[in-house]
Amino acid sequence: MALRSIRSVAVFCGSNHGASETYADDARALGRLLAKAGMTVVYGGTTNGLMAVVADAALAAGGKVHGVTTETLHLRGQSHPGLTRREIAPSLQLRKARMVELADAFIALPGGIGTVEELMQVWSMNQLSEIDKPVGILNSAGFFGAFLQFIDHMVDTKFLPAAHRHSICVDADAAGLVDQLGSYTRTDVPKWL
């Protein structure tokens, strides 16, 4: 099986730091790992929370970071000034579309409703064959445990084929997750039961 060529990874994560220092530690580890692997980090472009932790770690490790922020956040002074490249999108919808366009793969870390929405959007786009880009969850400190149980509930109640449950990569270790993304193969089972 051939490995995928992943040159850029969009990272979806919280604009807050969360209740555990483990979240920031894992975000830093991911940023460093992606930089050392020569993968550009694509993210929401702000100076807040885990988003900034990932970006700063990648930059400190000599990596490239491409931020895509919204005009509203930029006008609030939340654009990260030290990025390799920065874009300002007129709306949140266009920001997300641009991040999907720029990325070869996606990783979600702990975060709030925006993080979950971004994760579900790209997972759904893969399911509908709009894109063929691996999606992963860095399950830092078990953050996504309840979410994954809910996905299992979708399978149990016949709203999601079991094969699609496993069309997303999950690992608590950044290196293990990036390896899974590189060997990801598309799920060709129809979404309809």
In this structure, what token pair is assigned to residue 71? 């005009």
* pLDDT tens, residue order, the chain (193 aa): 578 999 999 999 999 999 999 999 999 999 999 999 999 999 999 999 999 999 999 999 999 999 999 999 999 999 999 999 999 999 999 999 999 999 999 999 999 999 999 999 999 999 999 999 999 999 999 999 999 999 999 999 999 999 999 899 999 999 999 999 999 998 888 777 7
CATH number at residue 37: 3.40.50.450
Pair 37, 134: CB distance under 8 Å: no
Answer yes or no: is 53 within a domain.
Answer: yes
Answer yes or no: is 192 within a domain.
Answer: no
Which residues in the chain belong to E strands, given as ranges? 8-12, 40-43, 65-70, 85-89, 105-108, 135-138, 169-171
Return the pLDDT at 1.
59
Number of domains in the chain: 1
Answer yes or no: is 191 within a domain.
Answer: no
Pair 41, 35: CB distance under 8 Å: yes
Answer yes or no: is 2 within a domain.
Answer: no
In this structure, what token pair is assigned to residue 135? 């999606």
Pair 26, 174: CB distance under 8 Å: yes
Residue 111 belongs to what domain range? Answer: 8-182
Calpha distance 28→6 (Å, rounded): 19
| pTM strictly above 0.85 | yes
